Amino acid sequence: MGFSTDCIHAGQEPEPHTGAVTIPIYQTSTYVQPELGRHKGYEYARTQNPTRAALEANIAAIERGKHGHCFASGMSAIDVVFRLLKSGDHVVAGENMYGGSYRLFNRVLEKFGLQFTYVDTSSVDAVRNAIRDNTKVVYLETPTNPMMTITDLAACAEVAHAHGALVVVDNTFCSPFLQRPIELGADIVLHSTTKFLNGHSDSVGGVVVSNSDEIAEQIGFLQNAVGAILSPFDSWLVLRGIKTLAVRMKRHEENGIAMASFLANQPKVKKLYYPGLPDHPQHALAKRQMNGFGSMISFDLGSKENAKKFLDRVRLCSLAESLGGVETLISHPESMTHGSVPLEMRTRLGITPGLVRISVGIEDIEDLIADLENAFDGV
Ligand SMILES: *Cc1c(COP(=O)(O)O)cnc(C)c1O
């Protein structure tokens, strides 16, 4: 089936008792067993829940994978993936990734003996050179947050697989509408469903998708053993959100391109980062690898003072962490999402005090531009 059809129908058989077209919220902790040793496939709700199962099947289908497992947050999804490893294993990860992922690696997982090397994954050679005998995972995000650097997923997968390492891609920034890493060779794709998949800024969740029965079995084991599952209500919200993923993403894309063109002509913008612009250094790769460029844009206003004046004047755009909602969210990576990244690393990556990131929503673009024009007047 096509992508939009799968968004609406995959994993969602009508409810068997009444024929209800939407999957009910199975708000139960356990299930009656008709006799000892016999049950209907449901024993206890940490292990199985029909609402969550519907969402897991749905996301697996739209990522073009076979299996999905949902978690209480994007971070818990990432955490579970690393529980596939053991003390002494090594990971090559992007140096510019979601700040919370860096914090998990650096301040939690290292304590358990996992080793991390951070490289600029836009260079396939840098990835290759960082691989060691004990490298088990190559961990990628593309475009990166907030610098919008693109990594060649197919080329990195080839390098990783030649060394027997798994390729794990955090696809949160794109959603499967814009990019499907499994088709490019990734072994595991994960998301914070909090962002584009749910799309309405009213739920926190995560998902792990893979194509391999063996990996899925281990993730399923960990989901039950560790227990950070997505609740039935949140599962239902994300299912509801995904029904409109394709139409939302088309509009995000349209607004993203219009916003980037507006910013490109704004003299107070010192630097602009958006892979949809022909002068982005990796525009050609983005065009080849993605089905569009999305609505995440970063721009540099030159100083913290300018960024503050600008951010204090926006009215329609909300100054907030997070991204991927229907409403436009604007943020200051240095002090908000990337506060936990060391200063030296932030500076090297370009996460300067003047950097602003915008997640362009699906409002009328004229209203968004008018809001930003007004904010620029104060800079
Ligand atoms: C938000 C985000 C996460 C973390 O997800 P939560 O749902 O907030 O736990 C991980 N990766 C990326 C790219 C994100 O944007």
Q: What is the CATH number of the domain that holds 24?
A: 3.40.640.10
Structural tokens at position 64? 């073009």
What span, in angstroms and rounded, lies between the C-alpha atoms of 77 and 242?
18
The mean pLDDT of 302-317, rounded to a whole number, is 97
Residue 303 shares a structural domain with residue 168: no
Cα–ligand 1 centroid distance for 321 (angstroms): 10
Give the chain's mean pLDDT.
96
Residue 236 shares a structural domain with residue 249: no
Cα–ligand 1 centroid distance for 105 (angstroms): 14
Residue 218 shares a structural domain with residue 265: no
Side-chain-facing half-sphere of 190: CA atoms under 13 Å: 30
Ligand 1 close to Cβ of residue 173 (< 6 A): yes
Ligand 1 close to Cβ of residue 175 (< 6 A): no
Ligand 1 close to Cβ of residue 192 (< 6 A): yes
Ligand 1 close to Cβ of residue 100 (< 6 A): yes
Per-residue confidence at 252, pLDDT binned at 50, 70, 90?
very high
Q: Report if pTM > 0.95.
A: yes
What span, in angstroms and rounded, lies between the C-alpha atoms of 341 and 359?
21
Q: Which atom of ligand 1 lies at the shortest distance from residue 193's CA?
A: 7
Residue 155 shares a structural domain with residue 277: no
- CA geometry: angle at 316 spanning 312 and 318, to 5°? 60
Q: What is the DSSP string of 114-174?
A: -EEEEE-TT-HHHHHHH--TTEEEEEEESS-TTT-----HHHHHHHHHHTTPEEEEE-TTT
What span, in angstroms and rounded, lies between the C-alpha atoms of 377 and 379?
6
Residue 190 shares a structural domain with residue 128: yes
Residue 69 shares a structural domain with residue 191: yes
pLDDT tens sequence across 32-88 = 999 999 999 999 999 999 999 999 999 999 999 999 999 999 999 999 999 999 999
Cis peptide before 353 (omega within 30 of 0): no
Residue 109 shares a structural domain with residue 132: yes
| Ligand 1, atom 11, residue with closest C-alpha | 98
Residue 342 shares a structural domain with residue 270: yes
- For CA atoms 246, 248, 252, 254, the dihedral sign is positive
Angle between helices 232-242 and 50-62 (to 10 degrees): 30
- Could you give the number of structural domains in the chain? 2
Ligand 1 close to Cβ of residue 58 (< 6 A): no
Cα–ligand 1 centroid distance for 82 (angstroms): 15
Strands 67-71 and 206-210: antiparallel
> Letter for the amino acid at 271?
K
Residue 311 shares a structural domain with residue 334: yes
Report how far Cα 35 is from the mean position of its chain's Cα atoms: 43
Ligand 1 close to Cβ of residue 204 (< 6 A): yes
CATH number of the domain encompassing residue 292: 3.90.1150.10
Ligand 1 close to Cβ of residue 74 (< 6 A): yes
Respond yes or no: is residue 98 known to be catalytic.
Answer: yes
Q: Which domain-ending residue is among 243, 261, 288?
A: 243
Note the pLDDT of residue 15: 87
Per-residue confidence at 14, pLDDT binned at 50, 70, 90?
confident
Ligand 1 close to Cβ of residue 334 (< 6 A): no
Residue 186 shares a structural domain with residue 198: yes
Ligand 1 close to Cβ of residue 96 (< 6 A): no
Respond yes or no: is residue 213 known to be catalytic.
Answer: no
Note the pLDDT of residue 103: 93
Q: Ligand 1, from 59, 140, 148, 172: best to mutate by most atoms within 8 Å of Cβ? A: 172
Residue 97 shares a structural domain with residue 184: yes
Among residues 26, 52, 79, 98, the one annotated as catalytic is: 98
Per-residue confidence at 358, pLDDT binned at 50, 70, 90?
very high
Q: Which atom of ligand 1 lies at the shortest distance from residue 77's CA?
A: 9
Note the pLDDT of residue 200: 97
Q: Which domain-ending residue is among 243, 272, 299?
A: 243
The mean pLDDT of 328-357, rounded to a whole number, is 92
Residue 199 shares a structural domain with residue 263: no
What span, in angstroms and rounded, lies between the C-alpha atoms of 86 and 244?
39
Note the pLDDT of residue 16: 86
Q: Give the number of other Cβ atoms within 10 Å of residue 57's Cβ.
A: 16
Among residues 52, 128, 136, 195, the one annotated as catalytic is: 195
Task: Kindly list the distances between the CA atom of residue 208 and the CA atoms of 34, 107, 145, 345, in Å, as whole numbers in the listed order.
Answer: 33, 22, 19, 28
DSSP code of residue 357:
E
For 45, list phi and psi in degrees, rounded to 5.
-75, -10
What span, in angstroms and rounded, lies between the C-alpha atoms of 51 and 352?
43
Nearest Cα to Cα of residue 67 among 56, 83, 55, 81: 56
Respond yes or no: is residue 195 known to be catalytic.
Answer: yes
pLDDT over 90 (residue 202): yes
Q: Which atom of ligand 1 lies at the shortest distance from residue 194's CA?
A: 7
Note the pLDDT of residue 176: 98
Per-residue confidence at 327, pLDDT binned at 50, 70, 90?
very high
Ligand 1 close to Cβ of residue 82 (< 6 A): no
Domain that holds residue 281: 245-377
| Ligand 1, atom 6, residue with closest C-alpha | 74
Note the pLDDT of residue 264: 98
Strands 271-273 and 90-94: unpaired
| Ligand 1, atom 5, residue with closest C-alpha | 74
pLDDT over 90 (residue 180): yes
Q: Which residue has the tokens 């704004």?
A: 266
Nearest Cα to Cα of residue 298 among 325, 337, 341, 339: 337
pLDDT over 90 (residue 340): no
Q: Which domain-ending residue is among 201, 217, 243?
A: 243
Per-residue confidence at 21, pLDDT binned at 50, 70, 90?
very high
pLDDT tens sequence across 181-198 = 999 999 999 999 999 999
Ligand 1 close to Cβ of residue 68 (< 6 A): no
Task: Kindly list the distances between the CA atom of residue 360 and the CA atoms of 125, 298, 330, in Å, as whole numbers in the listed order.
Answer: 33, 11, 8
Cα–ligand 1 centroid distance for 78 (angstroms): 9
Dihedral angle of Cα 344, 345, 349, 355, to the nearest 10 degrees: -70
pLDDT over 90 (residue 339): no
Note the pLDDT of residue 64: 97
pLDDT tens sequence across 141-156 = 999 999 999 999 999 9
What span, in angstroms and rounded, lies between the C-alpha atoms of 297 and 276?
10
Nearest Cα to Cα of residue 259 among 206, 329, 199, 197: 329
Respond yes or no: is residue 40 known to be catalytic.
Answer: no
Cα–ligand 1 centroid distance for 246 (angstroms): 21
